[in-house]
């Protein structure tokens, strides 16, 4: 089969880590007799510098014409450190989510046996931790209107908005993931304070009778933040709104021992996007030291969720496990010799 993959490497370490995922996908294609056509486009700070738009129309059209999108990272200090900048790289990410209809972000949180000692939590707490955060991605305070600053710049305001349909759509996906796993769903909100959270809770409660096989519990976001650290193994599938999901999934990622290990998928109406959960890490850009594993595992999610190539996806996960066991890893998790980003990619592709 021939598949079209849009490559949006982005900023910082994005191009380096995406290159390694492409190496692995090409090796998969050779082994399983698939052909991947990779076409690159601009997004983020590099797109602003080139054309003044963090998500250009050409990039959008390429995404729409592709079977899947492999995405690196966006962000640059010259924009991060300028709060008055009118055009920002992150606007490209939000525009991509909105225009592609990417209403759900799927973030699996799993631990690697060979790296349990790298976790900031005790081994007995994290060993066997395996859950999925299903985050609503196109609503909430990140997209709500009105937003802005007062004329004298002494006041700022954002608006958090959700519709019943948006809650139903993301919760339905949460139920589907729970049904495939251990049949437990945790709904995270702040219903004791926020009207939007009360809408979430009411809507989910109405949906529970449709899924009698799923055990559902509700948890305030502050309690969830604590319990992810205290008892990470208690969670199976967590569904929540945009900002809560952003924060909680980043918090959950560190229990694995490195932010550079966890992949994600953004799925919805049009072409799905697959990306590591970490940022652009500009301090490491061009140094060949960034951990490419999260991006490689994102490529595995791409194969499974977008192309329905489950055996091929498992082959990537298996070779990543082998690299961990063999110590072929970058400096952030290395015990002895630290391998370069490109060396890890070469090893994975060779051993696929």
| DSSP characters over 181-249 | TTSEEEEEE-TTT-HHHHHHHHHHHHHGGG-TTSEEEEEEHHHHHHHHHH-GGG-SEEEE-HHHHHHHH
DSSP alpha helices (H): ranges in the chain? Answer: 14-32, 45-51, 57-64, 77-80, 89-100, 123-126, 164-180, 195-207, 221-230, 242-253, 293-301, 310-326, 341-350
- H or E element that contains 273: strand 273-276
Which entry of 177, 189, 190, 236 is annotated as an active-site residue? 190
Asked if 134 and 66 sit in the same domain, the reply is no
Q: Which helix (H) or strand (E) holds 275?
A: strand 273-276
Only one residue has tokens 């962000």, namely 75
Residue 178 lies in a domain: yes
Whether 193 and 286 share a structural domain: no
Structural contact between residues 100 and 273, judged by C-beta atoms closer than 8 angstroms: yes
Within-domain flag for 107: no
Instruction: Kindly list the distances between the CA atom of residue 346 and the CA atoms of 176, 296, 317, in Å, as whole numbers in the listed order.
Output: 36, 12, 15
**How many domains does the chain divide into?**
2
For residues 178 and 248, membership in a common domain is answered with yes
Please indicate, yes or no, whether residues 94 and 191 belong to a single structural domain of this protein.
no
Same domain for 205 and 150: yes
Find the CATH number of the domain harbouring 93: 3.40.718.10
Which among 256, 279, 298 is the end of a domain? Answer: 256
Termini Cα distance of the chain: 19
Is 238 part of any domain?
A: yes
Active site residue 222: yes
202 CB contacts (<8 Å, ≥6 apart)?
none
11 and 93 share a domain?
A: yes
Beta-strand relationship, 130-136 and 104-110: antiparallel
Residue 262 within any structural domain of the chain: no
Rounded-to-integer distance, Cα 38 and Cα 44, Å: 19
Residue 213 belongs to domain spanning = 120-256
- Boundary residue ending a domain (233, 256, 279): 256
User: Do residue 252 and residue 124 come from a single domain?
Assistant: yes
Tokens at 150, concatenated: 């007062």
Give pLDDT, residue 255.
Answer: 87
Residue 232 inside a domain? The answer is: yes
pLDDT given at position 235: 97
Within this chain, do residues 211 and 292 fall inside the same structural domain, yes or no?
no
**List 11, 76, 246, 339, catalytic entry:** 246
164 with 249, same domain: the answer is yes
| Domain presence at residue 114 | no
27, 303 Cβ separation under 8 angstroms: no
Residue of 58, 65, 82, 222 marked active site: 222
Decide which of 208, 237, 256 is a domain's last residue: 256
User: Does residue 247 sit within a domain?
Assistant: yes
Is 142 a catalytic site residue?
yes
Catalytic residue selected from 130, 250, 288, 346: 250
Global model pTM greater than 0.75:
yes
pLDDT on residue 197: 98
Query: Which of the residues 3, 142, 162, 177 is marked catalytic?
Result: 142
Alpha helices in 277-309 (DSSP H): 293-301
pLDDT at 1: 84
For residue 96, the 8-state DSSP code is H
| Predicted confidence (pLDDT) per residue in 86-99, tens digit | 889 999 998 999 99
Assess if residue 5 is contained within a domain.
yes
- pLDDT per residue over 223-248, tens digit each? 999 999 999 999 999 999 999 999 99
Confidence of residue 115 (pLDDT cuts 50, 70, 90): confident
């Amino acid at each position: 089969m021939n598949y079209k993959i849009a490559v949006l490497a982005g900023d910082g370490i994005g191009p380096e880590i995406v290159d390694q995922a492409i190496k692995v996908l090409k090796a998969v294609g050779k082994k399983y007799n698939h052909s991947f056509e990779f076409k690159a486009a601009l997004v983020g700070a590099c797109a602003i510098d080139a054309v003044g738009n963090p998500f250009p129309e050409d990039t959008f059209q390429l995404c729409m014409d592709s079977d899947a999108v492999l995405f690196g990272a966006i962000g640059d200090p010259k924009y991060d450190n300028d709060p008055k900048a009118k055009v920002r790289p992150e606007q490209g990410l939000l525009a991509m989510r909105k225009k592609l209809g990417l209403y759900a972000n799927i973030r699996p949180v799993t631990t690697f046996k060979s790296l349990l000692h790298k976790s900031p939590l005790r081994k007995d707490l994290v060993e066997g931790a395996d859950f999925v955060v299903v985050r609503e991605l196109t609503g909430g305070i990140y997209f709500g209107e009105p937003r802005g600053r007062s004329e004298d710049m002494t006041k700022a305001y954002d608006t958090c908005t959700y519709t019943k349909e948006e809650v139903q759509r993301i919760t339905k996906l949460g139920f589907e993931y729970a049904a495939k796993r251990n049949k437990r769903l945790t709904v995270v909100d702040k219903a004791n304070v926020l009207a939007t959270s009360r809408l979430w809770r009411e809507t989910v409660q109405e949906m529970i009778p449709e899924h009698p096989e799923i055990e559902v519990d509700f948890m305030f976001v502050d309690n969830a933040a604590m319990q992810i650290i205290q008892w990470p193994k208690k969670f199976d599938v967590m569904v929540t709104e945009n900002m809560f999901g952003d924060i909680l999934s980043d918090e959950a990622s560190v229990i694995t021992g490195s932010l550079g290990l966890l992949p994600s998928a953004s799925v919805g109406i049009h072409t799905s996007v697959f990306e590591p959960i970490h940022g652009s890490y500009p301090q490491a850009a061009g140094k060949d030291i960034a951990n490419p594993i999260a991006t490689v595992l994102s490529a595995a999610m791409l194969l499974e969720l977008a192309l329905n190539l489950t055996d091929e996806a498992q082959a990537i996960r298996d070779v990543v496990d082998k690299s961990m066991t063999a110590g072929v890893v970058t400096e952030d998790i290395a015990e002895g010799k630290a391998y370069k980003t490109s060396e890890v990619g070469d090893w994975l592709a060779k051993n696929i």
